[in-house]
Amino acid sequence: MKNSPNPVLSRLLTHSGDESDFATKSSLMKDIYDKLINMARLDKHVILIGEIGVGKNKLAHLIHAHSRRAEGTFYTFHCIDMNEAEFKEAFWEQIEFEEEHLKLRYDVLEQASNGILFLDQFSELSESFMLNIIDSYLQGSKQLFRYNEATAPRLILSLSQNVYQRLHKTEVWRQLLSALNPLSLTVPPLRERKEDLPDLIEKFLKEVQTSEPTWKELNISPAAVKECLNYDWPGNIRQLKNAIIQGAVLSHGNTIDCHHLPFSMKWKLPYKL
């Protein structure tokens, strides 16, 4: 039997954030955001490329917020571990009877009509599945929105950096570009914009304080901040957030020190429970 999830941790890990998440001191990220806003207004499909945890999901929401589709739906389809049955149910045409007439239905496309369809972790699919989804999107859009193409969902695809490095040299990549004519943007990893680390740490501390009343005094020691600045963050922003949450738990909502951080060389036992 699975353990019941900790409600505090669930709230923290699923916090969606808002546009204040995108405040940055990094000139590199300021340039990324400027490009992203311009992309949002063009109403073209977008491919976001970056390491796991850099915030591609939040950037996709930013595109939605600044696009002409801001009042429409932002619909996320999680591609990881998708099987053939799930693919067919989501993207293939389904024939239904409605008032004694046959009707074609496309589940995911209709969910995202006049909005954005975010294909999260698209790079985790096999290459054949990638092409199948794009083909089903194009065929379904032609069927459903042939009289008003502007209501067809706008696609945002999330690609991990390592898959992109392999994929962009293949015929599959050429076919994706030909089918979608997308804009693409590479998101830098956290280790390339460490000037944002203090503000991100402060932001996550405030999230924890707000989500758990008994942790209102939570803070972090200067030594632990230094440890964070010296670390390379292979898991990027997602890993940083999880590290702060773990630090909050292990410090009992008091002061996060080096030995509370999961990546620290000063990690030690026992913890006082």
The CATH class that applies to domain 7-13+193-260 reads mainly alpha
Give per-10-residue mean pLDDT for the chain (273 aa): 42 44 78 93 96 93 95 94 83 61 70 94 92 91 84 95 92 95 95 93 94 91 94 93 94 94 65 47
| Domain(s) of CATH 1.10.8.60: residues in the chain | 7-13+193-260
> CATH number of the domain at 27-189, please?
3.40.50.300
| Domain(s) of CATH 3.40.50.300: residues in the chain | 27-189
SS3 state of residue 158:
strand
pLDDT of residue 181: 96
pLDDT of residue 154: 96
d(CA 110, CA 175) in angstroms, rounded, equals 25
* 66 phi/psi in degrees, rounded to 5: -105, 10
pLDDT of residue 2: 39
pLDDT of residue 250: 92
Question: What is the 3 state secondary structure string of 191-247?
Answer: HHCHHHHHHHHHHHHHHHHHHCHHHCCCEECHHHHHHHHCCCCCCHHHHHHHHHHHH
pLDDT of residue 205: 95
pLDDT of residue 1: 36
pLDDT of residue 7: 46
pLDDT of residue 150: 83
